[in-house]
Copies of this chain bind each other. A is one copy, B any other.
Amino acid sequence: MQAQKLFPGVYRLSFGEPETFTPETFRSVAPSAALKNCEELPCPFAQDAIAFRASARGCVAELPLDSFEQLYGFGLQLKSFAQMGKKKALRVNADPVADTGDSHAPVPFYVSTSGYGVLAESARQVSFYCGANEKLGAGGRTVTVEIPAARGISLVLFAGKDPLDVVRRYNLFSGGGAMPPAWGLGVWYRCYGQSAQADAEGFAREFRAHRLPVTVLGLEPGWHTRAYSCSYIWNEKNFPDHETFLARMKELGYQINLWEHIFVHPEAEIYDALKPYAGEYEVFQRGLIPDVSLPEARDIFADHHYERFVSQGISGFKLDECDGSDYTGGWSYPDCARFPSGLDGEQMHALIGLLYQNTVRQAFAPAGKRTWGLVRASGALASPSPFTLYSDLYDHRDFIRGLANMGFSGLLWTPEVRSAASAEDLVRRIQTVIFSPVAMVNAWPFPNPPWHQVDEALNHQGIRMEGSEALEARCRRWFELRMELLPYLYTAFRRYRDEGIPPVRALLLDDPADEDCWTVENAVLVGDALYFAPLVAGERERAFYLPRGTWVNFFDDSQFLEGGREYRFAYDLDAFPLYVKAGTLLPLAKAEQSVAEHPLFTLCPRSFGAKPGETLSYVLYEDDGASEGQTGGEVTLTRQADGTYALSRTGETGHQMYRLAEEKAD
C-alpha cells in the first residue's frame, strides 16, 4: 500500500473497506491552515513496513517497533503514562478501575519518542498491544492494533522532528487547539448541588466579601429531580426567579455554568422534536438519547440551548454522564444499541462526548461568543473543542498523571478539587488545579465552602474546622496566583490554538533527547517557561526531575538550579517545586476579584534570572477576550536594560487587554 499525503508530514494509509463512521466523519472543525506551513517530512514508515490483515473479529495492523522507543497517548489515561509493553483496550468508561485502556476520553492515537504518531481512524473499541508480546521464535516487537467489526483500517501517520512536533501536527490536523474566553481561565466554584438561588447568591457574596477571586459559578438548575434524565427547565422551587438571579450574578462579576446531561426527560420542550432522532433505548428513567451525529438533532438541541440559556447570559455548561461505565453496573445504552444515523452503541459511546460538545458549542454561535465548559467524555480530534475533562475518580496522583497525559492526545483536563481528607489535602489539590485548564473547586457535596470544613458531615452541620480562616487565606493565595498567571496562560492557549502546542504537557515533549524525562509523570510544563511539580497530602518532601537548563525558583528568584537531574527538597504546605526558565520575563498580572468579559490586565512582570543590564521580552497575545473567531494580535512586554518595563504593540490589535502597573524597576 502507498501512503497518501494529506499535509506536510501527515499521511494516510488505508487497507480494505474504510469504516463509514469515524471521528473524521463528524469533525466540526477543518484541519488548521497552519498545517500547510509545517515542514515537509517523509512518511514515518517505509512502504509495506506495516502489515495488515482482516479476520472474523475485525482488522489488525502490525507496526514495527525499534528496540528502543517509548510510547504515549491513548487519550486521557489516568492509570499509566509510558505505554510500552502494555495492552490498551480503548473503551469509553467513566470509572476505569485498572490500567486497561478504559478512559472517559480514550483516543486511538499514540506518539513515539522516535518522532512519529499513529491515529487509528475509528470510533470502535480499538485495542493496542504495545510491544506486549513476542512472536514465537521470531523475536522483535510490534504495536498490534486491532479494530473490532471493521473490514478495513485507516491510519493517519504523523511525522515530526520530535514528539512535540508530532503532537502539534495531530492537534493542527484536529483543527488546532481550543481558545478559552479569558474568564474561563479564572477560578471556578461549583456550588452545593442542592443550592437554591439564594444559596448561590450567598456563595457569590461571600467570595467577594472574603476577597476570594472566583469568576465562574457552577450550578445545578434542578432539572433532573423528577427523574435523573434532564428536562432543561429551571426548578421553580429552587430558582423562582432565575432571570433576576442571573442579572445579580453578572453585576457581581460572575459567569454562570449550568450542569446537565444529554438524556432528555419527556417533560423537556425538545423531547417530541427529538424523538425521530433518538436511539432505541432509554437511559436514566425515560431519558431519550438524541442522535447528535445528525444535524437535525444537534440543531434542535443547540437552538433550544441558545434561546433558553445562552441568550439569557449563561456562559457554559457542564456536560455530565456522556461516557457510561461498565464498572458500575453497565448503566447507559448497550454497545449494540441502534441509532437513526446508523451508528451503533459502541460507536456512539466513542463519539457522543465530542458530538455533545459540538452541539453545545453550536448554541453559542448565534451569540458570537466563546464558551468554556466541562465534559465527562471526549475522543479523537477534540483539540479545538472548548471543553475540559473532569472525572469522578479522585486519586490525586492519578489526577496529576492526567495533567502529564492530556497533552499527548489533544485533550484538556482539570484535576478538580471535589473533596479533601484534610486541610492539607485541600491545599495540595488546589495547588495542583490552578495549573490546569480549569481551576475548579467542585464543591457540589458541600453546603459550605470546603475551606470552612473539609469533613462532609460537619460541613452539612455548618461546623467550622479549627484554623479555617488560615485555610481560607491559603486557598486565596493560590487562587490569586492563578489570577496572576492569566496573561501567561491566555498566551499559552493561543499557541495551542495556532501552533498546536499543549498549554500543559509532559516534560519529555520539550526535551525528548533526555531519556530521564521519559517516565516523569508527576511534573509538567505549563506554557513555555514554567515547571510545576505538585505534592500530595502526606508528603513532607518530594523528589522531582528538573529538565535540562537553568531554572529559577518562582518563590525565591535568588535560587537557581541546574536541570538534567533529580532533586529532593522538603516543603511546607505553602511551597512546592515551581520553577521558571532562567531568562524569562514572566507577564504576571495583578490579581483582580474576577475576570471581566473583556478584561484589561494590569501587568506586574517579574524577570527570572535576568543578568544585570539584560533586556528580556515576552510576547503576549491580545484580543477582546471573549468573541468567537478572533485572530487578535501581539503585545510585546519588555524588561529594558535599565530594569524598567515597557509594552508595545506591533501594529494595531484593535483591543487593549494589557496595561503596565505603575512603572517599576526590578
On A, residues with C-beta under 8 Å from B are 55-58, 60, 85-87, 89, 97-100, 127, 129, 132-137, 144, 146, 148-149, 151, 275, 278-283, 286, 288-289, 326-331, 333-338, 344, 346
Contact = CB atoms under 8 A, between A and B. Distances in A.
A275 B136 CA distance: 9
Contacts of A289: 136
Contact of A282 (B98, B135, B280): B135
Nearest first, the 5 closest Cβ-Cβ pairs linking A and B are: A87-B330, A98-B327, A133-B281, A57-B149, A146-B336
A290 to B, nearest CB: 11
Nearest to A338: B55
Contact of A326 (B100, B146, B328): B100
A320 to B, nearest CB: 19
Contacts of A331: 132
A333 B479 CA distance: 49
A344 B136 CA distance: 15
Nearest to A100: B326
B136 A281 contact: yes
Contact of A134 (B85, B132, B281, B346): B281
16 contacts: A57-B149, A57-B336, A60-B336, A89-B330, A97-B327, A99-B329, A132-B334, A133-B333, A133-B334, A133-B337, A134-B286, A135-B281, A135-B282, A136-B279, A144-B336, A146-B334
A335 B86 contact: no
Given A57-B148, A336-B57, A336-B146, A129 B330 contact: yes
Nearest to A150: B56
Nearest to A334: B129
Contacts of A144: 334, 336
A338 to B, nearest CB: 8
A629 to B, nearest CB: 38
Given A133-B333, A334-B129, A327 B100 contact: yes
B148 A344 contact: no
Contacts of A60: 336
Given A133-B282, A329-B86, A127 B335 contact: yes
A367 to B, nearest CB: 32
A324 to B, nearest CB: 10
Contacts of A281: 133-136
Contacts of A135: 280-282
A100 B280 CA distance: 23
Given A134-B282, A149-B148, A87 B288 contact: no
Contacts of A278: 136
A60 to B, nearest CB: 5
A335 B56 CA distance: 12
Contact of A56 (B56, B146, B286, B344): B344
B334 A57 contact: no
A152 to B, nearest CB: 12
Contacts of A132: 329-331, 334
A118 to B, nearest CB: 17
Nearest to A133: B281
A275 to B, nearest CB: 8
Q: Which of A281, A282, A334, A336 has the most CB of B within 10 A?
A: A336
B335 A283 contact: no
A129 B129 CA distance: 28
B326 A87 contact: yes
Given A57-B346, A133-B282, A134-B281, A330 B148 contact: no
Nearest to A289: B136
A107 to B, nearest CB: 19
A89 B326 contact: yes
Contacts of A279: 136
A136 B280 contact: yes
A292 to B, nearest CB: 15
B87 A329 contact: yes
A55 B334 CA distance: 14
A85 B346 CA distance: 20
A415 to B, nearest CB: 23
Given A99-B329, A133-B333, A134-B281, 10 more contacts: A57-B335, A57-B346, A87-B329, A89-B330, A97-B327, A100-B327, A132-B329, A132-B331, A136-B280, A146-B335
A133 to B, nearest CB: 4
Nearest to A20: B56
Given A135-B281, A283-B133, A288-B136, A149 B330 contact: no
Contacts of A57: 148-149, 335-336, 344, 346
Contacts of A336: 55, 57, 60, 127, 144, 146
A330 B86 contact: yes
A504 to B, nearest CB: 27
Contacts of A335: 57, 127, 146
A55 B337 CA distance: 11
A164 B326 CA distance: 30
A135 to B, nearest CB: 6
Nearest to A60: B336
A271 to B, nearest CB: 11
Contacts of A86: 329-330
Contacts of A288: 136
